């Protein structure tokens, strides 16, 4: 039977890929977004589909629709965007989660939260396991996002325990791919755009910090598997690609793949920038039979092609 599925943040980078996949699967999709970092361009191709509906709405305000499943993705994810108005980011995370949970409770809908590896902060254990409670600065410039996402997880588990709402929590590690905006500010889009324009590649700090990068297609597959996982499996579950790279390695790979003349320049490291990050995905492998299939070079290849197209029309 056709399910009615709500995707908050559905006009964003990940949300729009998720809408595509859910429509392909024959569902009825309601996309809610305030277009802060998202764009109608990401969902333009879906607008004429009778099973797709876009609602411009801010998730910090209550929302009354009828739905069977909710994917809650609404929240700016790039540091420059979530730090632009940090109070709003905290409200989006916390009040947004609260409204979605109230909606899930009323509709008896299953609800998935897109949490983040940022709940681990600047981690003291490596790789990060779901049982690790994190090392998060509660008063720094990243806190609006990190603590907002932690509070959202708390609300999810309280709605589960107190009201029996069926919850699913995924902790997403750095993910990239097409539809990231040129001005997104995250490392992969920055480096690719800089390399394609032969501008300096801005490495923050000494570039020895690490991240593990997952391709969007793999991530979406993991999210849907989580929504469809066995009753009673709430997570949190890590979703990410365990291949780990330093930012220097990433910069060099992108310069090489784009045949760019760009030079690496070093900029100050932002406050509380995590030193290392890599998911332990054994729980996802066991519960969801999921692991990423796209390696960094293949994912970068299609992402570079995407940005080449975008920059032509920019
Ligand atoms: P994104 O910025 O492209 O998407 C976020 C979307 O939410 C945008 O379309 C934006 O307009 C919308 N939004 C923001 N505030 C809103 C509000 N108050 N009301 C309604 N809509 C609002 O980022 P993304 O990478 O697609 O991230 C999607 C989700 O996944 C976020 O919740 C993010 O925290 C989470 N996540 C992403 C990553 C990643 O690497 N991409 C990693 C961890 C977690
Ligand atoms: N809410 C919503 N849509 C709904 C149901 C609830 O946006 O369909 C909001 C509601 O406005 C409230 C929040 O979700 O702010 C939590 O709702 P809940 O019913 O759990 O709590 P209460 O309304 O009792 O505070
Ligand atoms: N980074 C960088 N240059 C940039 C953008 C980011 O060196 O132009 C670094 C940043 O300091 C961090 C890593 O790349 O160590 C990943 O940053 P991003 O903002 O993509 O994600 P997050 O820090 O949230 O993992």
CB within 6 Å of ligand 1 — which residues? Answer: 8-9, 11-15, 33-38, 58-60, 73-77, 92, 96, 114, 116, 172, 174-175
Are the beta carbons of 226 and 235 closer than 8 angstroms? yes
CA-CA distance, 275 to 137, in Å (whole number)?
14
Parallel, antiparallel, or unpaired: how do β-strands 214-215 and 237-239 relate? unpaired
- pLDDT one digit per residue (tens) for the chain, 314 residues: 899 999 999 999 999 999 999 999 999 999 999 999 999 999 999 999 999 999 999 999 999 999 999 999 999 999 999 999 999 999 999 999 999 999 999 999 999 999 999 999 999 999 999 999 999 999 999 999 999 999 999 999 999 999 999 999 999 999 999 999 999 999 999 999 999 999 999 999 999 999 999 999 999 999 999 999 999 999 999 999 999 999 999 999 999 999 999 999 999 999 999 999 999 999 999 999 999 999 999 999 999 999 999 998 76
Whose CA is closest to atom 19 on ligand 2? Answer: 102
Rounded CA separation 29/121 (Å) = 33
Nearest CA to ligand 1 atom 6: 9
Nearest ligand, measured from the Cα of 195: 3
Note the pTM of the prediction, 2 decimals.
Answer: 0.98
**Which residue minimizes the CA distance to atom 1 of ligand 3?**
187
Out of 83, 140, 211, mutate this one to test ligand 3's pocket (max ligand atoms within 8 Å of CB): namely 211
Shortest-distance Cα residue to atom 29 of ligand 1: 73
> Residue 266 catalytic?
no
Catalytic residue among 145, 159, 176, 215: 145
Q: Are 185 and 81 in contact (CB under 8 A)?
A: yes
Determine the Cα–Cα distance for residues 308 and 297; give it in Å rounded to an integer. 16
Q: Counting atoms of ligand 3 from 1, which one is nearest the CA of 117?
A: 25
- Whether the CB of 62 sits within 6 Å of ligand 2: yes
End-to-end C-alpha distance for the chain, whole angstroms: 42
Nearest CA to ligand 3 atom 25: 174
107 alpha carbon – ligand 3 mean position (Å): 39
Sign (positive/negative) of CA torsion 64, 1, 112, 221? negative
* pLDDT the model gives residue 313: 77
- Relative to the CA of 78, which ligand 1 atom is closest? 2
What's the CA-to-centroid distance between 83 and ligand 3, angstroms? 14
* Closest ligand to Cα 214: 1
């Amino acid at each position: 039977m056709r399910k009615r599925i709500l995707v908050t943040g559905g006009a964003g980078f990940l949300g729009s890929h998720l809408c595509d996949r859910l429509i392909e699967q024959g569902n009825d999709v309601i996309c809610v977004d305030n277009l802060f970092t998202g764009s109608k361009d990401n969902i333009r191709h879906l607008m004429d589909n009778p099973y797709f509906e876009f609602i411009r709405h801010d998730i910090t305000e209550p929302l009354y629709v009828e739905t069977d499943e909710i994917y809650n993705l609404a929240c700016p994810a790039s540091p420059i965007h979530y730090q632009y108005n940090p109070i709003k980011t905290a409200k989006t995370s916390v009040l947004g989660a609260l409204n979605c949970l109230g909606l899930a409770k009323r509709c008896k809908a299953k609800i998935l939260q897109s949490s983040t590896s940022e709940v681990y902060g600047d981690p003291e254990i490596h790789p990060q396991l779901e049982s690790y409670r994190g090392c998060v600065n509660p008063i720094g410039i990243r806190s609006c996002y990190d603590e907002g996402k932690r509070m959202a997880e708390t609300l999810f588990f309280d709605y589960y325990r107190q009201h029996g709402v069926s919850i699913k929590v995924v902790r997403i590690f750095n993910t990239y791919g097409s539809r990231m905006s040129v001005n997104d500010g995250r490392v992969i889009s920055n480096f690719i755009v800089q390399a394609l324009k032969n501008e300096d590649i801005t490495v923050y700090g000494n570039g020895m910090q690490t991240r593990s990068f997952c391709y969007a297609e793999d991530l979406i597959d993991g999210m849907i598997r989580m929504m469809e996982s066995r009753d009673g499996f709430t997570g949190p579950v890590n979703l990410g690609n365990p291949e780990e790279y330093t930012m220097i390695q990433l910069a060099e790979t992108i310069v090489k793949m784009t045949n760019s003349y760009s030079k690496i320049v070093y900029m100050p490291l932002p406050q509380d920038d995590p030193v290392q990050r890599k998911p332990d995905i054994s729980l996802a492998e066991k519960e969801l039979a999921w692991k990423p299939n796209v390696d960094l070079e293949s994912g970068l290849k299609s992402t570079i092609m995407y940005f080449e197209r975008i920059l032509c029309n920019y």
